[in-house]
C-alpha cells in the first residue's frame, strides 16, 4: 500500500507548503498530494476557499491578486507556493498528485505540467491530476490523453467505480468513511488503482490494507509507515 503525503507531511509542517513537502520527501513517501487554485493567471497551492483558517486573514483566496497572495503566510510561517515553485522544490524526487480545487484553465495547468517534465526532472508517470470535478478531468484528458487522472468521490456511488473507468482514469480516490470491500474489488475489476483519503489512524490503515486498497493519503506518513511495516513483517 503506497503512501501519499496529504498536503505534504501536514502533521509535521504547515500544509501545502514547501516545508511540508520537504518533510514528506524526508519520509520517503511514494508521492505528495497538493491542492491547487488558479488565481490571476497564476496557480497557487492552497486548500481552502477562505483564507481565515490558514492565514488568519478575512476573505476569499480568489478575491486577492497574485501579488497579495505572495505576501501571505500559512500559520504565520510559510509562504503559499505557486504550483511551479512546488514542482521545482519536489524536483522529481517522488510522485505528485495535483488536486484541482478551483477551475484551473487547462492551458495554464499544462504550462506547469510541461515545466515539471522539461525543467523539474519529472517523468510523465510521476504526475497524477485529480479532482472532485470530473468535467475538468475530462477536459484535460481530451487535451492531453497521456496525463494520468484520478477521479475523486466523497461517496460510494451506486455504480461503484464506473465513473472513473468512464473518464479513463488511472485511479479512483474515495473518502475513508465510504470504502467497502465491494468498492475496492469493483475498482480493481475495472483496472483502476484505488486510493483512500484521509487516513491517519492505525485501525483504518489496518482495515484498508486488508481490503486491498492500493494507497492512502495521510497527514503523517512517518507514522503510517510504521503501522504498515508492522503489518508486513
Question: Which residues are at the interface with Mg ion (CB under 5 A)?
Answer: 35, 99
16 binds ligand G3P per the rule CB under 6 A: no
Are the C-beta atoms of 137 and 128 separated by less than 8 Å? no
Provide Rg for the chain, Cα atoms: 17
Burial class of residue 42 in the structure, from the number of CB atoms within 10 Å of its CB (0-12 exposed, 13-18 middle, 19+ buried): middle
**Beta carbon nearer to Mg ion, 47 or 141:** 47
Query: Per the structure block, which three cell numbers stand in for 164?
Result: 472513473
Name residues contacting ligand G3P, limited to 110-169 (CB under 6 A).
130, 152
Partner from Mg ion, ligand G3P, none binding residue 79, C-beta < 5-8 Å depending on class: none
Interface with ligand G3P (CB under 6 A), residue from 122, 136, 197, 223: 197
197 binds, among Mg ion, ligand G3P, none (CB under 5 to 8 A by kind): ligand G3P
**Is 6 an annotated catalytic residue?**
yes
Is residue 9 within 8 A of residue 20, CB to CB? The reply is yes
Q: How far is the CB of 99 from Mg ion (least distance, A)?
A: 4
Between CA 67 and CA 1 the distance in angstroms is: 40
Name beta bridge partners: 149.
129
C-beta of 96: minimal distance to Mg ion in Å?
A: 12
Query: Angle formed by the axes of helices 221-232 and 202-211, to 10°?
Result: 50
Q: What does 223 bind: ligand G3P, Mg ion, none (CB cut-off 5 to 8 Å by kind)?
A: none
Q: Which residue has the cell 515545466?
A: 115
Residue 173 designated active-site: no
> Does the footprint of ligand G3P cover residue 200 (CB under 6 A)?
no
Task: Please name which of 123, 151, 173, 145 lies closest in space to residue 4, comparing C-alpha atoms.
Answer: 173
Closest CA to 96 of 124, 135, 134, 136: 124
Output the smallest distance, CB 207 to Mg ion, in A: 22
For Mg ion, the closer of residues 35 and 204 by Cβ is 35
Query: How far is Cα 136 from Cα 145, in angstroms, rounded to an integer?
Result: 13
| Binding-site string for ligand G3P from residue 63 to residue 102, where x marks contact by CB under 6 A and - marks none | ------------------------------------x---
The residues of the shown chain that bind ligand G3P, judged by CB under 6 A, are 6, 33, 35, 47, 99, 130, 152, 173, 197-198, 217
What residues act catalytically? 6, 47
Amino acid at each position: 500500500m503506497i503512501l501519499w503525503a496529504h498536503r505534504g507531511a501536514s502533521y509535521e509542517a504547515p500544509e501545502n507548503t514547501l516545508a511540508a513537502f520537504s518533510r514528506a520527501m524526508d519520509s520517503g513517501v511514494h508521492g505528495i498530494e497538493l491542492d491547487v487554485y488558479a488565481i490571476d493567471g497564476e496557480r497557487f497551492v492552497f486548500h481552502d476557499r477562505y483564507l481565515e483558517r490558514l492565514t488568519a486573514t478575512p476573505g476569499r483566496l480568489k478575491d486577492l491578486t497574485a501579488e497579495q497572495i505572495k505576501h501571505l503566510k500559512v500559520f504565520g510561517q510559510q509562504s503559499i507556493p505557486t504550483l511551479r515553485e512546488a514542482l521545482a522544490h519536489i524536483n522529481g524526487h517522488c510522485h505528485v498528485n495535483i488536486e484541482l480545487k478551483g477551475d484551473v484553465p487547462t492551458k495554464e495547468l499544462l504550462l506547469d505540467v510541461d515545466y515539471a517534465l522539461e525543467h523539474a526532472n519529472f517523468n510523465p508517470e510521476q504526475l497524477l491530476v485529480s479532482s472532485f470535478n470530473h468535467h475538468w478531468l475530462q477536459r484535460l484528458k481530451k487535451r492531453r490523453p497521456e496525463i494520468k487522472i484520478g477521479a475523486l468521490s466523497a461517496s460510494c456511488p451506486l455504480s461503484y467505480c464506473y465513473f472513473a473507468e468512464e473518464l479513463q482514469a488511472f485511479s479512483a480516490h474515495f473518502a475513508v468513511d465510504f470504502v467497502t470491500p465491494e468498492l475496492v474489488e469493483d475498482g480493481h475489476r475495472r483496472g483502476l488503482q484505488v486510493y483512500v483519503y484521509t487516513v491517519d489512524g492505525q485501525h483504518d490503515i489496518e482495515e484498508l490494507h486488508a481490503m486491498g486498497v492500493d494507497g492512502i493519503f495521510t497527514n503523517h506518513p512517518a507514522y503510517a509507515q510504521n503501522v504498515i511495516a508492522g503489518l508486513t513483517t
